Amino acid sequence: MLLVALAAPLAAQQPPAPPAATGGTAAALDVIPRPDSVVADSGTFLLRDPVSIVVVTPTRRLAEIAELLRQWLSQPSEFEVVVRRGTPHRGDIALALDPKAGGGPEAYTLTISPGGVRIAAPDAAGVLWGVQTLRQLLPPAFDDTTAARPDAWAIPAMTIRDAPRFAWRGAMLDAVRHFFPVAFVKRFVDLISRYKLNVLHWHLTDDQGWRLEVPRWPRLTTVGAWRSDAYGTPYGGFYTERDVRAVVEYARLRGVTVVPEIEMPGHSVAAIAAYPWLGCTGDTIPVATDWGVHPDVDCPREPTFALLEDVLREVLDLFPSPYVHVGGDEVPKDRWKACADCQALLRAHGLADEEALQGWFIGRIGQWLAGHGRRLVGWDEITSAPLPPGAVVEVWRDTATIAAVARQGHDVIAAPGAYTYLDHSPGSLTLARVYAFDPAQGLTPGEAAHVLGGEAPLWSERITTANFDLMAFPRLLAFAEALWTRGPRDFAEFHRRLLAGEEPRLASLGVAFGPEDRDVLAMTPVYDSVSGRVGMRVATGVPDITVRYSTDGRAPTLESRVYADSIGFSAPGTVRFQAYYRRQPLGDGRSFTIDTDLARGRPYRVATPPSPRYPGTGPRNLTDGAFGSTDLHDGFWQGWQGTNLEVAVDLGREIPIATVAGSFLQDVGSWILLPRSVSVWLSDDGATWRAAGSTLADQPPERADPFTERLGAALPAGTTSRWVMLRAEGSGPLPSWHPGAGKPSWIFCDEIVVR
């Protein structure tokens, strides 16, 4: 069974590499992941009506797999397919347990001859993967129910011997930032099982929502499952106990273990919004509406542990997985530092600092889980303190950490963002790069033995049901092969199999393929200094994407006007954009506001150029009249790291001036802070300057939600000038409580406003 396979020593999953595939016809088969050994034989097997599936070894699990195969064959083919036990006859498909059929519980041998098909494996898990391979050996047209149905489907005769390299082959579904209905989750299970991925890591709680029903604590879902979207409309959802049991059973049948993630002690804003006493301050806070890291975290008091243990009891009842993921990542410590109860805990347990307090927290939860027969999994930040026995570390930050954790003797799940984060645009994480991923690269055999496998996270800040397929596929198929297949890899040969077999097959199933090495959708603000208009440059990586817009501040709909690159805007107001793919909203939309002031359209100079990472709309960004959102990536912000901002604007002639200000962003989770102070200077010639006023930022750096603020000075009545200068002093290194403590902070500015 799958649970056995996941819990088994990894060495059992990594037998010596077999010979390379041989045989003319069989070697060119369009199977993903590529099997270990393919030996061609003469003749073909004809799948024809009626079809008989024979369970040779009479076990309940093989009977379940046979029933799945019956459904998978009968529905597309329209053949009569029956399942029986006993001895196979000519033309039958036989499923059998055979200890000689390969090494490891997920190994299998698939034999195809003109007289029939036999799938044999030491364990039922291997039989299932053999069945999935058999499905891919059928022509892609088999799954296209709109095409004509022939009397028989031919499969070349061959013998395939196959086994996975890694035991843990997972995909992570973030159902918090955007919610995915049960039917969608099941569909995803179907797809990952097709390609022999065997773990669904279900991210169920975070700052932006709590998705798991816990009857004893109802406010976790009545309050914590809902937040306001950009237009103030409630957004969210959650999974009932019945929903979860349905998904878990659906996944079990398809060889997929569902590993739940309940975030603690950080990323807990939704839980604290439901029960404010979970936080150190006791303040009532809303469910987070923005992404990033938030300061409110679980306070390690006894009532907090009582609730968390109740939640985990519910988790253990719903999820039979031997693993429970508890997050443990990105935990700011400022609330703990200011909390008398936390400081008392430090003293009582002899803990050196708040980092050690987090280790104590994770250790306590790990011991509780171990006492109930489960293993704790956490993101790699949990290694900053001693780990509880049996803990598994999921490494996300970099590949070097994989080796470091393995050398410490801890089991590892490899999910480095640079290779596996499929929420990253294909333009920055290409298909070829995902295919090159090797969780154990550079490790000694002893270190590699601690690598259970890997995972491909699909964080959903910018992923919804509309663009999910475009982001996941085809890169998830490259990831599946990287974890399954042993021996040398050939990207060109993989790419041939992808285009010849799986792209048409998945297309017939309604799965959309995204681009391999460019963005699905790129919307880049542009400013025309001649016309004074602001527009959007739209680039799409796939067809059927339409961008619509509104100028009245309302959300664009399918009935709104279609945007073209030739359209620009200059009138004051808010412009909103929404992309649609196959008539579904693609992402959360974009917006900017246009306003008029004395500096709009005027030339300026800056003492230090902005970072090329954040160029805004170009050299007139600070006077283009367009104001960005709280999304630092919206294209309207320019950024300066570790330096001050000094910008001098030529107003063209001496005119009366009442106020001068800059529009700034704070997003502390992204290292962006308001300037410490802002001063205004005036000049008649742009060379000699006189001070005109200053102000200090009045917002605390620990304020976590992204926000914008205008900082500047009001000038005395009757003030006139041709030139104005704004100097913004940076906040210096990030504070000690920040995850990036000591690193230089950023200043972000999108406009200089003169009135």
CA distance to 176, 566, 720, per residue, from 179 (Å)? 6, 35, 55
Per DSSP, helices labelled H in 436-485 are 445-448, 468-472, 475-484
Dihedrals φ, ψ of 62, to 5°?
-65, -35
How deeply is 206 buried, as exposed, middle or buried, from its count of CB atoms within 10 A (0-12, 13-18, 19+)?
A: buried
Q: Which residues, at least 6 apart from 209, have a Cβ–Cβ distance to it below 8 Å?
A: 176, 177, 179, 224, 225, 226, 227, 236, 237, 238, 270, 287
Placement of tokens 């914008």 in the chain? 708
Q: In this structure, what are the phi and psi dihedrals at residue 644, rounded to the nearest 5 degrees? A: -85, 165
Alpha-carbon span 172 to 174, nearest angstrom:
6
Cis peptide before 215 (omega within 30 of 0): no
Catalytic residue among 267, 410, 424, 738: 267
Instruction: Compute, in degrees rounded to 10, the torsion defined by CA atoms 731, 734, 737, 740.
Output: 160
| Token pair recorded at residue 188 | 């995803």
Q: Which of 206, 296, 624, 705 is catalytic?
A: 206
Tokens linked to 46:
């004809």
Amino acid identity for residue 33 in this structure: P
| Cα–Cα distance list, 386 to 366, 393, 417 (Å) | 11, 12, 24
Known active-site residue 330: yes
Q: Where is 355: in which H helix or E strand?
A: helix 354-371
C-alpha closest to that of 572 among 595, 543, 538? 595
Strand-pair partners of 234: 228
The values of phi and psi at residue 625, to 5°, are 80, 0
Which one is catalytic: 67, 330, 595, 634?
330
Catalytic residue status for 702: no
206: annotated active-site residue: yes
Which of the 8 DSSP states describes residue 438? -
Contact 700, 725 (CB under 8 A): no
Catalytic residues: 206, 267, 330
